[in-house]
Amino acid sequence: MKCRKCKAPAEIDLPSHNTACCRACFAEYFTGQVDKAIRHHGLINPGERVLVALSGGKDSLSLMLELSRQGYDVTGLHVDLGIPVSSAAARAKVENFCTARGLKLKVVELIKEGLPIPDVKQYIHRPICSACGKIKRHWFNRVALTDGFQVLATGHNLDDEVARLFANTLRWDAGYLSDQGPCLAAESGFARKIKPLYRLTEFETACYAFLNGIEIHTAPCPYSSGATFTGHKKLWSDLEYTSPGTKIAFYDGFLKRGRPAFAQVDKDQGRAVAPCTTCASPTSTGVCGVCRLKIAVTERRAADPDRQTDPDRQ
Amino acid sequence: MKCRKCKAPAEIDLPSHNTACCRACFAEYFTGQVDKAIRHHGLINPGERVLVALSGGKDSLSLMLELSRQGYDVTGLHVDLGIPVSSAAARAKVENFCTARGLKLKVVELIKEGLPIPDVKQYIHRPICSACGKIKRHWFNRVALTDGFQVLATGHNLDDEVARLFANTLRWDAGYLSDQGPCLAAESGFARKIKPLYRLTEFETACYAFLNGIEIHTAPCPYSSGATFTGHKKLWSDLEYTSPGTKIAFYDGFLKRGRPAFAQVDKDQGRAVAPCTTCASPTSTGVCGVCRLKIAVTERRAADPDRQTDPDRQ
Amino acid sequence: MITVFIEPDNETLHFERLKTVLLLQQRLGLRVNDALVIRGDMLLTPDCRLQDGDEIRIRKVISTG
Amino acid sequence: MITVFIEPDNETLHFERLKTVLLLQQRLGLRVNDALVIRGDMLLTPDCRLQDGDEIRIRKVISTG
């Protein structure tokens, strides 16, 4: 198989785009797709500072590298969840990556913040993945706000976005369908949220990470029983295999013809947003959701006999 | 397995509705779903005459039987396509069914109308399934118009509707998404078009046909290489198996929250409609599409040396 | 021995030792609502037991035209 | 003999006589863009020929968390 562009031996076969690439032309292709996303949807304006959420996986590290290569002013943010073994491994991958490439990195340690995920799992009776996601988003928003970033970038790829859009379309969730997309405008004290990899598949970000020698964290989270959208990803893999190009056509078609229809539908009125009285994050509930989580965890941990230093039991 | 309602031995397991039925309770369930569709979407008003399109398959014959049992004034319409062997077999099933049940039936013979499908296949260079569908719809509309039927009912079931909706959603076809549904209002000289079986799956109409001793035409059309939406039906079978109830939730959700969003989008302006100068069917092109097809077939047939009585060759 | 006639394929299969309709469906790669399972003039649910000598009709329901 | 290491399952498999990457993908039930196929520091396309003694890494790409 030869590179369609330069006829060198191909390393990457991309039936969805009816093409195949050598590694040099793939790098160009990848850059072009990210650039197209940024220009087409106004994701980053000149001079803006971009905070990139870094989990340590292939998508987030690839995004960080590509944005820095395109000359954007990027800083990574890693949230250390405080899960034994797993969190230290993920954090090491992120730190090594940023150090080796000379990229700026901030780390939030949930243990220091009094809200490590193992405690949330132990003391809060709700699905841990949902609480953990909420806490991570809280910190991304909070660091963007307090450190003056205009833009918050995440590594969501086309497969993530299509699976999520599909789930929301199955339910015809009008609220969600009115604003899903690669750019969520800044609002009520939150930074603009962008997904510059939305045109690239999981396979393509994995190729990019490999070809750039990025060491990634691949171990699944010990608390997760599997990906939320795995079932739909399989279905979409079948659709894409049968009709190459279906994924991007579905997502682009939604942005062009689906979302505008739902955007006309009246949105529910936003409630008044004010700074959280504890942490200053924008919230409509006085004390924000994560600060309330922290209060609950702190109280229950203090009341837990197994977590107190009991001289009789030592 | 017992009938969830009356505890008799069940014959039909319906995981999508989290239930199982004996045949008596299944008949009630089936009637209830058709009645719900009719009432909820105003499909048939008191005193209206209903023309039911009868192909000879399980869906159309089940629909005819159920509507007649519910007391509606129904007349069947079968279009004899003139395909050797296959059409005679389908027509016999329809005629036997209507005779045995004392139901009114009209038959249009495309051979008599000068437009048998084999000739369309031979002389018209476009996909035969699309031309055949167009011709059948033309005759359903035309008979409804000339014989004074207010309503035209077809046997489309939930699987048909979901597969079609899904195909249109994958493309985000706004025009289609603005008016797909179980009821297309009467307009420009066309009768109201209704799909009273839209809440019932293919499995359920097949059970109904079997339990009512309906003999159905099952041989696939010799000109069709397979169903248009078979690929998507398999996908939906997987989704329904994983999450029972997904099909009807997707379709009902579309009617409640999807379609209204697209209905707000400006529709393309309809062109002026007037009676076809040849057959009086409403058309925006002077002579309607099917009359033009007929002219083309007649001309090409007349010019075809193989179809002329040539004394030298006899 | 159980004799199974498949519609609309018009194929006849024979099986030894199939205890239930569910096992038959699994052998044929069919899910609960992919086909009618008919014995005589009755429909069978997946839990129904099959007997030696049974003649079963499988009527697939996905319409093909 | 071809040695295949599967990530992230951390499983090692051995195959005799597999001529191409495509045949390996089919044996593993993988489609062209389901996984990276790595030999040394190179990615392989489905048409690439495999050689006796090859050590191949399969890196599945669907993210699981």
Are A12 and D63 in contact (CB < 8 Å)? no
Q: How many CB atoms lie within 10 A of CB B198?
A: 26
Give the pLDDT mean for D29-42: 94
Residue type, A312: D
Give pLDDT tens digits for A272-299: 788 888 888 888 888 988 999 889 899 9
Length of chain D: 65
In a domain, C33, yes or no: yes
- pLDDT computed for residue C17 by the predictor: 84
Q: Which residue has the higher pLDDT, B280 or A172?
A: A172
Quick check: C9 contacting B, CB < 8 Å?
A: no
- pLDDT computed for residue A282 by the predictor: 84
Element (H, E) at A202: helix A202-211
What's the pLDDT band for B309 if we cut at 50, 70, 90? low
Please state the separation of Cα A165 from the chain's center in Å: 15
Q: Name the β-bridge partners of A187.
A: A190
- pLDDT computed for residue B86 by the predictor: 92
Residues of B in contact with A264 (CB under 8 A): 261, 264-265
Give the pLDDT mean for A61-70: 98
- pLDDT computed for residue C27 by the predictor: 94
Give the pLDDT mean for B208-236: 80
In a domain, C29, yes or no: yes
What's the pLDDT band for A314 if we cut at 50, 70, 90? very low
Element (H, E) at C57: strand C55-60
CB B284 within 8 A of CB B271: yes
Give the closest of B160, B218, B226 to C8, CB-based: B218
CB A118 within 8 A of CB A84: yes
Are B11 and C36 in contact (CB < 8 Å)? no
In a domain, C54, yes or no: yes
Return the residue in A165, A170, A177 with the most chain B beta carbons within 10 A, the one to mutate for interface testing.
A170
Closest alpha carbon to A1 in D18, D29, D49, D4: D49
Q: Report the sign of the C-alpha dihedral through residues B286, B291, B293, B295, in that order.
A: negative
Name the average pLDDT for chain B: 91
Greatest Cα pair distance, chain A, in angstroms, is: 76
Q: What residues of chain B, 62 to 81, have a C-beta less than 8 Å from chain C? A: none
Indicate the pTM of the whole model. Answer: 0.86
Return the residue in B168, B169, B172, B242 with the most chain A beta carbons within 10 A, the one to mutate for interface testing.
B172
* Helices (H), ranges, B178-258: 202-211, 230-242, 246-253
Give pLDDT tens digits for B223-234: 876 555 566 888
Structure tokens at B259: 């379609």
pLDDT value at B260 more than 70: yes
Structure tokens at D6: 């599967």
Q: Report the sign of the C-alpha dihedral through residues B64, B67, B69, B75, in that order.
A: negative
What's the pLDDT band for A309 if we cut at 50, 70, 90? low
What's the pLDDT band for D63 if we cut at 50, 70, 90? low
- pLDDT computed for residue B271 by the predictor: 67
Element (H, E) at B208: helix B202-211
Q: What residues of chain B, 228 to 267, have a C-beta less than 8 Å from chain A? A: 231, 235, 238-239, 242, 246, 249-250, 253-254, 256-258, 260-262, 264-265
Give pLDDT tens digits for A229-255: 566 878 898 899 889 999 999 999 999
Cα–Cα distance, A258 to A178 (Å, whole number): 8
In a domain, C6, yes or no: yes
Residue linked to tokens 């930074």: A191
For the sheet containing B192-194, what is the strand order? B104-109, B73-80, B49-53, B151-153, B192-194, B183-184
Structure tokens at A14: 């991309």
Element (H, E) at C5: strand C2-7
The architecture (CATH level 2) of B41-272 comes to 3-Layer(aba) Sandwich (3.40)
Residue linked to tokens 């171990």: A219
Provide the domain count of chain D.
1
What's the pLDDT band for D8 if we cut at 50, 70, 90? confident
Question: For A22, which residue in chain D has the nearest alpha carbon?
Answer: D43
In a domain, D19, yes or no: yes
**% residues pLDDT > 90 (chain A):** 69
pLDDT value at A313 more than 80: no
Closest alpha carbon to A185 in A104, A62, A248, A270: A270
- pLDDT computed for residue B104 by the predictor: 98
Closest alpha carbon to D39 in D57, D16, D60, D13: D57
- pLDDT computed for residue B81 by the predictor: 96
The beta-carbon contacts of B266-275 under 8 Å, at least 24 apart in sequence, are B267/B175, B267/B178, B268/B175, B270/B188, B273/B188, B273/B189, B275/B189
pLDDT value at B12 more than 70: yes
Quick check: B86 contacting C, CB < 8 Å?
A: no
Cα–Cα distance, A148 to A141 (Å, whole number): 10
CB A81 within 8 A of CB A87: yes
Q: Name the β-bridge partners of B20.
A: B13
Q: How many CB atoms lie within 10 A of CB C47?
A: 12
Structure tokens at B39: 């009432």
* Chains C, A in contact, 3 or more Cβ pairs below 8 Å: no
Cα–Cα distance, B243 to B238 (Å, whole number): 9
Give pLDDT tens digits for A99-125: 999 999 999 999 999 999 999 999 988
Residue B223 carries which DSSP code? T
Give pLDDT tens digits for B85-133: 999 999 999 999 999 999 999 999 999 999 999 999 999 888 888 899 9
CATH number of the domain to which D53 belongs: 3.10.20.30
CB A81 within 8 A of CB A110: yes
Give pLDDT tens digits for C1-44: 999 999 888 899 999 889 999 999 999 999 999 999 999 999 99
pLDDT value at A226 more than 60: no
Structure tokens at A9: 């031996």
In a domain, D48, yes or no: yes
- pLDDT computed for residue B95 by the predictor: 98
In a domain, D35, yes or no: yes
Q: How many CB atoms lie within 10 A of CB A200?
A: 26
Residue linked to tokens 């697939």: C60
Structure tokens at B85: 């062997």
CB-count burial class (<10 Å; 0-12, 13-18, 19+) for D62: middle
C52 φ/ψ angles, rounded to the nearest 5 degrees: -55, 135
In a domain, D65, yes or no: no
- pLDDT computed for residue B275 by the predictor: 87
- pLDDT computed for residue B240 by the predictor: 92
One DSSP character per residue, A28-77 reads: HHHHHHHHHHHHHTT---TT-EEEEE--SSHHHHHHHHHHHHTT-EEEEE
Q: Name the β-bridge partners of C56.
A: C4
Q: Which residue has the higher pLDDT, A114 or B269?
A: A114
Instruction: Say what the ipTM of the complex is.
Output: 0.83
Structure tokens at A77: 């943010």
Cα–Cα distance, B284 to B274 (Å, whole number): 6
Give the pLDDT mean for B200-218: 94
Structure tokens at A242: 């049968």
Name the average pLDDT for chain A: 91
Closest alpha carbon to A229 in B167, B240, D65, D33: D65
What's the pLDDT band for C65 if we cut at 50, 70, 90? very low
Give pLDDT tens digits for B56-66: 999 999 999 99
Question: For D64, which residue in chain A has the nearest alpha carbon?
Answer: A227
Residue A293 carries which DSSP code? H
Give the pLDDT mean for A64-86: 97
Domain holding D34, by residue range, is: 2-60
Residue C53 carries which DSSP code? T
Element (H, E) at D59: strand D55-60
Are C63 and B12 in contact (CB < 8 Å)? no
